[in-house]
Structure 1
Amino acid sequence: MASVLKSEFELKAPILPLHDRPTSHFRPVLDRNERKEFLLSLPEAESVRPLLRDGNLEVLVSSTSWTVDEDFGLLIESLCRYSDVASTSQPELPHVLAIITGKGPQRETYLRQISKLEQSGKLKKVTIKTAWLSTDDYARLLASGSLGVSLHMSSSGVDLPMKVVDMFGAGLPVVGWCQFEAWSELVTEGVNGMGFGSSGELVKLLVTLFEDSRKLEKLRDGALAESNRRWDDEWDPIAGKLLGLIS
């Protein structure tokens, strides 16, 4: 945003970026048993509860407004390809429960597509569920998931996806569409998340992270560190000093 203001609007004044941070109800849940119990309580997990109890399941979480601004088909294609890999060449890969939250105009279209894929056997090791959760339950879902997914493609190239901010607030590592300039302002590659620019790249990330729990835990550690940064950490040293409210 700073570079756009300088280059396109010829702004000469000093520019101090002030980034959004998560609200207080997005907090990590550090106890693994507590995270598992919450997931077991979800109706969306009913069909995979035995896998969840046995630890043979990873929970992928995303939110969407189900509009053309986000290519949800990219995620569906990636999950189909992951299922194929996990069903054939790498059977040790865990089953994936993908929970997608949100409402929007394209939701029913995608639900019909998912149903056809399930009936044709293309999602043998993937279960896709949609949900509409309360604010508190959404925050708990993020804190209990294995990995967050952002499909935000930023038509301007300078806006940042708030869903990733919320995921970091809950200590959830992220994989996301990274083909826009501002991505690196929010996600540090290999530390708290990883970026992709195609369905093939996303499949590789899912296989890499779910076949080696140490790699996923490394990203979770980075996301947990990121969760400590709150609004005051941005406001006080930047806007607070600029406005003379803090010495």
Structure 2
Amino acid sequence: MSDMLLIVSFLSPLLIFIRILVTLLRNKNSRKKSICIVVLGDLGRSPRMQYHAKSFLNEGYHIDLVAYPGSDPLSTLVKNSFVKIHYLKPTPLFNNIALPKLLIYVWKTIWQSINLLWILLINIRSSSLMLQNPPAIPSLPVCWLFCRLSSTEFIIDWHNYAYSIMALSLSPNHPLVKITKFIESYFGKKADKNFCVTLAMKNDLNDKWTINANVLYDRPPKIFKPIDLEEKHAIMMKLSKKYQEFSVNEDDACIFTEKLSNGEIKLKENRPGFIVSSTSWTEDEDFSILFDALNEYESCCSNENLNYPDLICVITGKGPLKDFWNKLINEKIKRKEWQHIKVVTPWLENQDYPKLLASADLGVCLHKSSSGLDLPMKVVDMFGCGLPVCAYNFKCLDELVKHNENGFHFTNKQQLCQQLKTWFINFPNNQQQIELNKKFKDELNKFQELRWHGNWSSVVLPCFNN
């Protein structure tokens, strides 16, 4: 009798699971225009997947979003009754127990697998599922399993390769890197549809794994646009109340702009140069290149025979290495190594970030690309705001940034510093820079003619209509 009770107690959870699964298969939602979008990361910091959701929403789709909480998602998604957001639970960590990193990784993978599959089985009745890759583990096998059990279309949106990112902190020959690469190749070939971010990635997916993907270039939504001087003054004044680097001892003025007694707003003639960089503070961005270039620029500013303005460098974003770089910045400030340069690392509200980009004089992108096959969305945002960019060069960067046409390429600190000096010498009255800026912005105006939804409608929507 006791053995029978033991067997029953063991089988009960399995029977419940099978019953849920059978219910799912029997009660499959009959709506064709529905999609589940899965991000094994912070939803608010996954702009491309949020843009996918907005575009599907514009086409009358019901949307389920599965992701981790963190930064605020777009308000249009949060407030719409056609959108349901299902948040994953963070992995419980044993902070008081010293465990090997491999064991922690295994535990995290098991927890994420169960949590993700449970949410999908209980909540999702969509006809299609689109998964952001990377990360690949455990989201690729879990989402594939769910899609096959529930007869749901399985779609992968390739932003990069998970194995190439993992190799940055481990090594290309590490067992975990090899396992991740196998999982990406195996389940990538089982997807019903694939999209990717560059032509170079499309070719690589096909050549390496015989995966046929459609190229969907990132394009800026309409919120990323040039702004007028009044809007620039407003965002600068807002920042000056929070960050002393922007403030001055004048009423209705900041370090860049001022409002005259007649109400007119003007740029200050003796203002500093304003550069901006956006980052997720990860291993694929080496900020030592920027800081070394700023060190050299500082030396130029100290030369009285050269006419270079002071610089304010704003670096936005969150990420694991932010504290490390902030510590280095603070050390430079304490040692007074930068007398003509100020660096600010704010986290901005969604509505303020595009205005900050549109107010800057020059953008800097240090994204190296672990695979050499993806493009930095931060540059797309900058281009949408009409901001020329100095971007670290890698093999497919030409698909976005064209050297001396809409921005600059650099590969080391010397090249970046030279570009800063070219841009800011005799600022803001350098006629050569003014003409170069006009040339760049003419190209960026053409880039801005095709926005996210227009591009999405020509690439993604036909795949669903068919």
TM-score normalised by the shorter chain: which range applies?
0.7 to 0.9
Residue number among 201, 221, 225 corresponding to 1:23 in the alignment = 221
> C-alpha distance in 2, partners of 1:51/1:87?
21
> C-alpha distance in 1, partners of 2:276/2:230?
18
2:207 corresponds to which letter in structure 1? Answer: S
Query: Are the aligned partners of 1:67 and 1:106 in contact in 2 as well (CA < 8 Å)?
Result: yes
1:32 corresponds to which letter in structure 2? Answer: L
Question: Deviation of residue 136 (structure 1)?
Answer: 0.5
For normalisation by structure 1, the TM-score amounts to 0.86
Specify which structure has the bigger relative contact order, considering alpha-carbon pairs within 8 angstroms and separated by 6 or more residues.
Answer: 1
- Aligned pair count? 241
Q: How does 1:99-178 map to 2 (within 5 A)?
A: 99-178=314-393
Does the alignment pair 1:38 with 2:274?
no
Query: Are the aligned partners of 1:170 and 1:224 in contact in 2 as well (CA < 8 Å)?
Result: no
Question: Deviation of residue 208 (structure 1)?
Answer: 0.9
CA distances 1:145-178 after superposition (whole Å, capped 9, x unpaired): 1111111111111111111111111111111111
> C-alpha distance in 2, partners of 1:4/1:51?
46
For normalisation by structure 2, the TM-score amounts to 0.48
> C-alpha distance in 2, partners of 1:148/1:190?
14
Match of 1:214 in 2: 435
Gaps of 5+ in 2: 1-200, 249-253, 258-267, 426-432
Q: How does 1:81-100 map to 2 (within 5 A)?
A: 81-88=296-303, 91-100=306-315
CA distances 1:85-139 after superposition (whole Å, capped 9, x unpaired): 1221663112111011112222222222112222333322211111011000011
Q: SS in structure 2 opposite 1:112?
A: helix
Percent of aligned pairs with the same amino acid:
35
1:215 corresponds to which letter in structure 2? Answer: L
Q: SS in structure 2 opposite 1:42?
A: helix
> C-alpha distance in 2, partners of 1:87/1:94?
10
Distance 1:90 1:69, change over 3 A: farther
Question: Deviation of residue 50 (structure 1)?
Answer: 4.1
Does the alignment pair 1:183 with 2:397?
yes
1:204 corresponds to which letter in structure 2? Answer: Q
CA distances 1:51-76 after superposition (whole Å, capped 9, x unpaired): 65334312111111222221112111
Distance 1:220 1:197, change over 3 A: same
CA distances 1:226-245 after superposition (whole Å, capped 9, x unpaired): 22221244234444556667
> C-alpha distance in 1, partners of 2:465/2:358?
36
Match of 1:58 in 2: 273
Q: SS in structure 2 opposite 1:149?
A: strand
Question: Deviation of residue 188 (structure 1)?
Answer: 1.9
| Rg comparison, structure with higher value | 2
